[in-house]
């Protein structure tokens, strides 16, 4: 069989988590909470399962959850999405990202395939999704330690074939967060063009040091052309439930739903009912910034005496560190060695770049119990 993705192997998340399990290492690689979700949420799911909500949900998501999402979005961002025509529940953000890209990107236009601007380092599902749809990723490279966007570079990369721009704030893997100015710059670039946007905002509730999340839906020029992607996995510590959503204006949602209905058709029913109830209590996500900032700071305090160079993450539950003062090894080899030798697994950030580079950055997930973070920091400080 001729591969449709010849350059794709097993994802780094699987590779590193497997190695961590085999070696008994502390796993700060793949991003998932090391603690459980709320027992109340589990009870709600059980309740709906026992009540017999166990068959297919409506294709677009159960009405109660779409309505709860519309309410949450209005309360938080003061933007109205119609639950019937503009909100779709998906099997995780990964499905939503794939469906949005598939809805927009075309392989064979007269001028050539559609182009998609991708900021790298980029979450690993974006580029395969573009390529499987016959599109061409066009990279804008962000560099440590700040990972800020040079908008002049973005401007230069836009051509008549640019059909989409992929945004991710707060950003995985760097923890970088967009400012209002970033949003305005993007709006100026796309204002009079047929360019659509996928905005991956799965870490919308995890921002630090008083920062606010600038959702692209809050800028009218952006809102009308953007698929906003969210995930309950990050917000409620339920990454294993794989449930997310897409908010987009009616016309975009209609095309999105055509893809969604043949990718998965619908998403796990009892969990949707449970989340609809659980979302009614906003405290469940309002406490997240403090909760994760404390963990970030605990991890950073543990690394204070180490030889890593660190700029505190602005958002997400990832902390990147530079090991340039410690060793010359490539990041992939170092991540493997640290897992084997000191028992701490991380993610080498070069895997999120298309361009080969030697920035010497590792990513650690700090969504873990305090004692685990302290032990990991202690081991890393001996390097
Ligand atoms: N986007 C980003 C930036 C992520 O970090 C992740 C998962 N960690 C996803 C999308 C996928 O989310 P889900 O598990 O809901 O598919
Ligand atoms: N998003 C998670 C991370 O960045 C992993 C998701 C996955 O394993 N596919 O680590």
ipTM score here? 0.97
Q: What is the DSSP string of 88-150?
A: EEESHHHHHHHHHHHHH--S-BTTBS-EEEEEES--TTHHHHHHHTT-EEEEEE--TTT----
Tokens 């994760």 sit on residue: 292
Fold annotation for 12-30+287-381? 3.90.1150
Instruction: Tell me how far the alpha carbon of residue 191 lies from the centroid of ligand 2, in angstroms.
Output: 33
**For 40-280, CATH number?**
3.40.640.10
List the pLDDT tens digit at each of the 383 positions of the chain: 999 999 888 999 999 999 999 999 999 999 999 999 999 999 999 999 999 999 999 999 999 999 999 999 999 999 999 999 999 999 999 999 999 999 999 998 888 999 999 999 999 999 999 999 999 999 999 999 999 999 999 999 999 999 999 999 999 999 999 999 999 999 999 999 999 999 999 999 999 999 999 999 999 999 999 999 999 999 999 999 999 999 999 999 999 999 999 999 999 999 999 999 999 988 888 999 999 999 999 999 999 999 999 999 999 999 999 999 999 999 999 999 999 999 999 999 999 999 889 999 999 999 999 999 999 999 999 99
Are 12-30+287-381 and 40-280 the same fold in CATH?
no
What pLDDT shows up at residue 365? 98
What pLDDT shows up at residue 232? 97
Instruction: Tell me how far the alpha carbon of residue 137 lies from the centroid of ligand 2, in angstroms.
Output: 21
Pocket test for ligand 1, best of 172, 237, 316 (most atoms within 8 A of CB): 172
What pLDDT shows up at residue 144? 97
- The closest residue, in CA terms, to atom 8 on ligand 2 is 13
Residue 350 phi, psi dihedral angles, 5° rounding = -60, -25
What pLDDT shows up at residue 283? 83
Q: What are the extents of the domains in the chain?
A: 12-30+287-381, 40-280
Instruction: Tell me how far the alpha carbon of residue 297 lies from the centroid of ligand 2, in angstroms.
Output: 22
Does the pTM surpass 0.90? The reply is yes
Instruction: Measure Cα distances from 338 to 23, 37, 230 in Å.
Output: 11, 29, 33
Do 171 and 202 touch, CB atoms closer than 8 A? no
């Amino acid at each position: 069989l001729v591969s449709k993705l010849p350059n794709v192997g097993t994802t780094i998340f699987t590779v590193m988590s497997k190695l961590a399990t085999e070696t008994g290492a502390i796993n700060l690689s793949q991003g998932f909470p090391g603690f459980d979700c709320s027992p109340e949420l589990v009870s709600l799911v059980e309740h709906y399962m026992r009540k017999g909500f166990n068959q297919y949900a409506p294709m677009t998501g159960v009405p109660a959850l779409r309505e709860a999402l519309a309410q949450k979005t209005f309360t938080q961002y003061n933007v109205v999405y119609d639950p019937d025509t503009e909100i779709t529940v998906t099997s995780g953000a990964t499905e939503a990202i794939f469906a949005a890209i598939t809805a927009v990107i075309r392989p064979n236009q007269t001028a050539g395939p559609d182009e998609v601007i991708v900021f790298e380092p980029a979450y690993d599902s974006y580029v395969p999704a573009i390529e499987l749809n016959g599109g061409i990723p066009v990279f804008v490279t962000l560099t440590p330690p700040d990972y800020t966007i040079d908008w002049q570079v973005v401007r230069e990369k836009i051509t008549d074939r640019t059909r989409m721009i992929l945004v991710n704030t707060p950003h995985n893997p760097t923890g970088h967060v967009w400012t209002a100015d970033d949003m305005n710059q993007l709006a100026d670039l796309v204002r009079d063009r047929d360019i659509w946007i996928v905005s991956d905002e799965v870490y919308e509730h995890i921002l630090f040091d008083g920062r606010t999340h600038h959702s692209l839906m809050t800028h009218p020029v952006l809102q009308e052309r953007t698929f906003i992607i969210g995930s309950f996995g990050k917000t409620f510590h339920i990454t294993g439930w794989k449930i997310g959503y897409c908010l987009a204006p009616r016309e975009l949602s209609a095309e999105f739903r055509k893809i969604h209905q043949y990718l998965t058709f619908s998403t796990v029913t009892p969990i949707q009912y449970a989340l609809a109830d659980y979302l009614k209590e906003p405290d469940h996500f309002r406490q997240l910034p403090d909760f994760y900032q404390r963990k970030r700071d605990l991890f950073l305090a543990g690394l204070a005496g180490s030889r890593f160079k660190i700029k505190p993450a602005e958002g997400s539950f990832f902390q990147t560190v530079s090991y340039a003062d410690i060793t010359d090894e490539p990041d992939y080899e170092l991540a493997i060695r640290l897992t084997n030798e000191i028992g701490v697994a991380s993610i080498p950030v070069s895997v999120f770049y298309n361009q080969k580079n030697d920035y010497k950055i590792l990513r650690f997930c700090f969504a873990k119990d305090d004692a685990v973070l302290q032990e990991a920091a202690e081991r890393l400080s001996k390097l």
